[in-house]
Structure 1
């Protein structure tokens, strides 16, 4: 890995991204027009110390997930992203692997939804981006690593989520989720990360293995969900899943009926959660 060159590239690209372009407030005195290290770290979901060590050439071998997160936070083009992967000594994910690149245009759209809980997942349901309202609603994912960031793993093996289901709704949700992963597996059969994930899920979850072997078909789509929030109680929300043409991403958006008690609870927990995250 060209450690110094990687750090220089990150620092150079950080300097060119304005806070406004990254969806951040531009207040306060700034020595430069670009992002601060603290802001880049927050956007990429990594520590400030790690960003500092990367930029100063004191950290080597960043993982593909870290490089992808930096490319997204820095609003890199496809060519720039591929260059950053090369500087890290890595091969940029190609057509045979599940796409994980959040394009600058998609990121700009997400920036304009800053007051709405929004998250972006790849086609295997691994979390790529979550804005502060989503973190306030579903739990802060900034400390999640590896399989912890995959919604399928969390549901069948891990701690689950704050979503509450009736038995019938749970069965339908699980069928659709496994069917969606099956379809992704068929499109990217050579993706080693996806193959390992499916193998672990089949080995450790009888329910997942049963649904996988049944050949269930379907897709994880829009639904009304009840979220059990530890601070404001149950919140009933519409959950829409939008697909991004050409990049195989899923954008999950939670909204409440205007003027309803659920809208009030959503607004309250967003403020409370955002304050907590700020500390």
Structure 2
């Protein structure tokens, strides 16, 4: 827990503001009745997070109590915190974690300009945790319109296993693609086993996707990339080669997809020009 009175007071204020920005309707609770303050009540947060009402009340009052990583992660999920907010919560609570190191933030302007210049070749920058940090129009269209995905959900592992469009975009052997993605995530996570930003992602995936849970429990690891990728798209199947480049010193990487045949090259041009009125994602 935070070691100073000032730290506990900051934690209390931070939790209160995160709670007050979420309405009961946002989390599937009835919103009737008058409320003295906006947002959720403390007892509602405690119920949704699976913690005691008294414990959560004391936490938000800035009392010096013990808070485990698992419980803080449950509170962060309930209050819909993004990766930066989660890290801030753990820091205030005195829990040592690896900072996001801009993993969940957007790429800077020079790198985004490089991505844009690569159109119509799909290109994306991801963090070691597979958070999508930046992408170009071709990648946006290929993945089913990432622009419409909430920023906190822009993670390639999360989309692969939970997004209706991405779950059906692989041509051919999806089980092999799933095994490779999960094996890569597990291998990379070996250095972050005590980091709730990583463990929280895995827990969310296990809860949301039986497919992910089944593959995760095999404990397979893999590091080598699979260059050949085949995807469904609204302009026809895409037969691509993926090439990975390191970006910066934090382990982030850029993935660029190039066509393996002339038909795919032409389809990539058509994909970028795809009519904006045709939405790729189910509403």
Q: How far off its partner does 1:164 sit?
A: 2.0
- Asked if the contact 1:119–1:253 (Cα under 8 Å) also holds between the matched residues in 2, the reply is yes
- Asked if the contact 2:227–2:243 (Cα under 8 Å) also holds between the matched residues in 1, the reply is yes
Mapped partners of 2:237, 2:116: distance in 1? 27
Mapped partners of 2:151, 2:112: distance in 1? 22
Q: How far off its partner does 1:140 sit?
A: 1.8
Correspondence for 2:236: 233
Q: Is it true that 1:163 corresponds to 2:166 in the alignment?
A: no
Q: Is it true that 1:188 corresponds to 2:188 in the alignment?
A: no
Mapped partners of 1:180, 1:111: distance in 2? 27
Pick from 104, 117, 122 the counterpart of residue 117 of structure 1.
122
Q: How far off its partner does 1:255 sit?
A: 1.2
- Asked if the contact 2:97–2:195 (Cα under 8 Å) also holds between the matched residues in 1, the reply is no
Pick from 251, 254, 269 the counterpart of residue 254 of structure 2.
251
Mapped partners of 1:180, 1:257: distance in 2? 24
Q: Is it true that 1:200 corresponds to 2:204 in the alignment?
A: yes
Mapped partners of 1:186, 1:98: distance in 2? 16
Mapped partners of 2:278, 2:214: distance in 1? 40
Correspondence for 1:153: 158
Q: Is it true that 1:266 corresponds to 2:271 in the alignment?
A: no
Q: How far off its partner does 1:208 sit?
A: 2.1
Aligned length: 192
CA shift in 2, pair 1:220/1:104, >3 Å: farther
Describe the SS at the equivalent of 1:247: coil
Structure 2 gap segments, 5+ residues each = 1-9, 11-80
The range that moved more, 142-151 or 128-137, is: 142-151
CA shift in 2, pair 1:120/1:166, >3 Å: same
Correspondence for 1:242: 245
Mapped partners of 2:100, 2:215: distance in 1? 22
Deviations 1:194-215 (Å, cap 9, x if unpaired)?
2221112223333322322222
Mapped partners of 2:256, 2:172: distance in 1? 21
CA shift in 2, pair 1:223/1:160, >3 Å: farther
Deviations 1:206-264 (Å, cap 9, x if unpaired)?
3322322222110362432222222x222222222333352211212111146x12111
Mapped partners of 1:115, 1:166: distance in 2? 24
- Asked if the contact 1:135–1:273 (Cα under 8 Å) also holds between the matched residues in 2, the reply is no
Pick from 214, 221, 226 the counterpart of residue 217 of structure 1.
221
Deviations 1:12-40 (Å, cap 9, x if unpaired)?
xxxxxxxxxxxxxxxxxxxxxxxxxxxxx
- Asked if the contact 1:122–1:248 (Cα under 8 Å) also holds between the matched residues in 2, the reply is yes
Q: TM-score, normalised by structure 2?
A: 0.55
Q: What is the root-mean-square deviation in Å for CA atoms of aligned residues?
A: 3.7
Q: How far off its partner does 1:147 sit?
A: 5.1
Q: Larger Rg: 1 or 2?
A: 2
Q: TM-score, normalised by structure 1?
A: 0.56
